[in-house]
Chain A
């Protein structure tokens, strides 16, 4: 497992251009965000222009990685070591972050122009930039302290963005989120302290060589795991998720559901693959909770009347798919072939869901903005009036349901294949039941939209491009399904 995370020595020293690209990828979002606070962009095109260096840096890192493989960076800053690595997985997640961040940033000016103007709305930009920088750092960092800093930065930026809309409900939910995030960080920090006390080092590569199974490893894994599970809204610690999304701005929700919670999950998997090298029970407990999450999240989404709660609850269920895969990735009794398939399926599912969920939040946000309704019943007649937003919602939902030709389907195929090969029958059942539940709540939503008895005739027109951005994201999830070969090859070049 370790080599899959690129925790091994690199063959080549990074080139100068790679240094530059790395610097831009990490710092530019934050700097651009600060610039956005000073001069809030009113249109999408300045955002696109300003964001260009970030996208270029991502592509540059991809090219360097293609040429020279795994790359490592190490610095000593005031006695504390900072180490980064760039492997295939890192590149993939970085690109995902940059492009979804790009979509969210492009979407924002239109939203701010149409929605009620808030005095604080200019602060959205630095927070968004900080969030993207922190996320990029999480994908790349390989020592526990840097990861902690990035995690905190990400959490605080996320809380800040969520309460910006200024509504009392948002403040309440945001404060609760802040409290939970701090508790999570505390648990994580305790785990880090334990590790430092026992083995005296914090870099993951060194730890991977030194860690031996034992009580300390288990306890620190449990502490960090609990903290990260809380931040990732893994079932049963998901209670804070829906209220937080309920009153947040659309691009914030999109970024949060697509990337923020995935970062904690990524970290959880990475740390456990180092600390729990031959644990059977821990991944199975996660998987069991995942199976429950699939059912519970599905039922929640099925019962709700609020559009945003539906989309947020579906995140709980979709995270369940990822949790169910944990034994395949971590348990010692899995054959290499199954593990390789599960590894591919896991990341494809994660990335596909990121794109689809971002698209879905945007489409839902568009519908709510245009109709002025936040309930499913308010959607009556939208299939006639707002076909494009609804179509985007539909395309995104196809990925969530795991129907072809989406990334969700290809990922599900890979996961099912891995599970069949390793005889995990109950996990298969969970996955298949999850698909049906997802279809149930998705089509419940569409059912309302097809009602022709729509009395209202007034719709707020949307800014140009708001639907198109969401459509592009949703189609990206489709393309990932059909062209899964390309991202997954990147994943295989992870270690060597």
Chain B
């Protein structure tokens, strides 16, 4: 039985939320908040329903013809539901966080409206059943993120927005060209078709390579792969919830997810290996991982350090994909979720430090663990997870990636993993040291840059609880990885669908 309404309704929850928010007046704060939270919770329930249906073997599909051979297709498959789950869970967390973060500031209607649109786009990306539909939501994401990046309206924010658009819109054009070339070659080709593009290999090898380069090149901009990453550190001027969303689920992940779709569902993994593109991709990803870590090491401010860390971490996903084998795939897919949870925690923490204590630079963080214990604990969980310490979520990913590399006999990838983990440790451990072991304003030495007492606890409750939740989730994703419906379990389910007939 096909429940076509399910993917459509799930998409519409965020779209309707955006429409409602845009129609409400600016000062209808309570109404806006309730509409937003209601939609977010509703969406989680719907995505949960989809997950149940997918695990029962259904693939709910909604489609209609746009023109000629081009259809609009939303399909809830295992991979899509995985991304949709991440996106809807983090939408709720970031919305709660953003409500606290933007308390009393201007233009909140615009912010939350586009925030909902942004999340609707990620959901569309997750459920898109063919390249055309994917493209629709991919570009919608670009457009809906722009007002969020320039939200502050300062010269710096506007410049960042301009650079963001320059990168992403050019990438969109490249992607569009690739997509049109592919359609002209093969006609309609859904993500669900079994055979891949293997039939075209004999006569169109060059064209297939060109299309692959165009598609992945276009997607790599959003995935912030070196040398196409220039927009990401600049986009850090956006408010903390936006950065969190951008880095954890929306823009960066949309690029990585697109690459997953192209390799697994469009070309097929065998064909990609045959064409030799996976090796090239593995090299690019490795360069990005090392480069991102090195640049992160050089940053003196917290948010830019996290931004470069994202550049490095997202490429683990791409690296895992390009290791031909089930373990690499599981690692990649699980990392898509794990990195989202951990990164969102880290950005929430960075936002809390900035809001409560005015901390932006790393050398201002001395002794903050005493003043803000929960935030610092969450930060520690996130940071250790990024380094890959057991039993945290990041460890599982790196373990699977390592095993996958050995199985694929790409031993240099193991070296990359080791190098990157040490670099991660080198830029995260000093922060942890400052947080917990140095004495600072909390011990009576000097004072915080700009201290505010936002709440009864260490900071405002709306800022605190989402962070605690995501920190616990990243802890749980590692500890309880063996349970059904854990990220690892779901990733294995997707991977087994990919590798077992």
Contact = CB atoms under 8 A, between A and B. Distances in A.
A binds B: yes
Interface of A: 341, 344, 348, 383-384, 387, 391, 394, 398, 403-405, 409-410, 412-414, 416-417, 420-421, 428, 432, 435-436, 439, 443, 446-447, 450-453, 481-485, 488
* Secondary structure dominating the interface of B: helix
A432 B177 contact: yes
13 contacts: A387-B22, A403-B143, A410-B67, A414-B68, A432-B177, A447-B158, A447-B161, A451-B158, A452-B154, A482-B72, A484-B66, A485-B64, A488-B68
Contacts, number: 97
B180 interface: yes
Interface string B195-225: 0000000000000000000000000000000
A404 B158 contact: no
A152 to B, nearest CB: 36
A417 B184 contact: yes
Contacts of B172: 403
Contacts of B142: 403
A485 B67 contact: yes
A420 B181 contact: yes
A416 B149 CA distance: 31
A389 to B, nearest CB: 13
A452 B165 CA distance: 20
A448 to B, nearest CB: 9
A451 B106 CA distance: 13
Given A403-B139, A404-B135, A387 B110 contact: yes
Contact of B132 (A413, A428, A452): A413
A403 B170 CA distance: 12
B132 A421 contact: no
A447 B166 CA distance: 13
Contacts of B110: 383-384, 387
Nearest to A451: B153
Interface string B164-183: 01000110110011001101
B65 A485 contact: yes
- Chain B's interface size range is 35 or more
Given A341-B68, A398-B143, A484-B66, A439 B165 contact: yes
A405 B67 contact: no
Nearest to A439: B169
Given A439-B169, A451-B153, A485-B66, A404 B136 contact: yes
Interface string B425-445: 000000000000000000000
Nearest to A443: B165
Contacts of A483: 66
A37 B22 CA distance: 39
Contacts of B66: 410, 481-485
B337 to A, nearest CB: 27
A420 B132 CA distance: 16
A387 B184 contact: no
A344 B154 CA distance: 44
Interface string B145-159: 011001011100110
B162 interface: yes
Nearest to A454: B153
A371 to B, nearest CB: 17
Interface string B122-141: 00000000001001110110
